[in-house]
Amino acid sequence: MERFVVGKEEKRRRWLNVGWGLLFSGAMVIAITVGHEQDPERYSSFLWWSVVWIFGAANLGNLLFLLRYLRTVDDHCIELAPGKLRFLSAGNWSELEFEQVSALRLFRSRGKLRHIQLLLKNRRGIRLEGYQDLDRLAQCLQDALPGKLMS
C-alpha cells in the first residue's frame, strides 16, 4: 500500500497566491486613491470605499479558505490499496473502488504533471493535485486502471 501526502510546494504555492491577490488589491486601491486625488469627480469616494470593501472581503475570504485548507491538509493523505483508493483526513476515511472509475486524465503544463482527474461512472470527477511525487501517483493509478487513460 502506497501513501501520498500533500507537498510543501503546494502549501507554499497557495500562500503565494494569497500574497499576489493582496498585492494586486493594494495596487488597485492605490490607483483609485491617486485617481481620486487627481480628479475627485471621476474617482468618487464611493468608488474608493467600494473597491476597498470588495477587495478587503475577497482577501479576507481567501485568507480564511487558505487557513482552513492548511488546518485540514496536515493530516490528509491518500492510500492506494488493492482495488481501491482510500482518502484519510482528520481521523475519517472514505474509499473509492476502482470499478467506479470510468476514466483517468492527466493534465500537464510545460511538460510537468499538474493534476490528475478521476472521472467516475456517475459523471462526477475527483481532482488530485498538490501531492508529493504526483508522477508516481499517476503511474500507480495507470497501473491500477489499465485502459482507462484518456489523452
Domain boundary at 29, 57, 73, which?
73
Look-up of cell digits 492605490: 30
What are all long-range contacts of 70-74, with beta carbons under 8 Å and residues at least 24 apart? 70/11, 70/14, 73/6, 73/11
Q: What is the pLDDT of residue 91?
A: 81
Q: Are residues 13 and 37 in the same domain?
A: yes
Segment 113-135 shows an average pLDDT of: 93
User: Which has the minimum average pLDDT: 16-20, 39-43, 112-116, 133-137?
Assistant: 39-43
Domain boundary among 44, 73, 102: 73
Q: Cell digits for 71? A: 488546518
- 119 and 98, same domain (yes or no): yes
* pLDDT tens figures, 28-67: 989 888 888 888 888 788 888 898 899 999 999 999 999 9
Supply 106's cell numbers: 492527466
Q: Which of 6-10, 41-45, 90-94, 105-109 has the lowest mean pLDDT?
A: 41-45
What pLDDT was estimated at residue 18? 94
* Number of domains present in the structure of the chain: 2
- Mean pLDDT for the chain? 90
Distance of CA 5 to the CA centre of its chain: 14
**pLDDT of the residue at 75:** 86
Q: State mean pLDDT over 100-113.
A: 93
Task: Please indicate, yes or no, whether residues 8 and 56 belong to a single structural domain of this protein.
Answer: yes
The yes-or-no verdict on residue 151 having pLDDT over 70 is no
- The parent domain of residue 48 ranges over 2-73
The answer on pLDDT for 130 being more than 70 is: yes
CA 85/CA 141 separation, integer angstroms? 9
* Domain termination residue (choose one: 39, 57, 73): 73
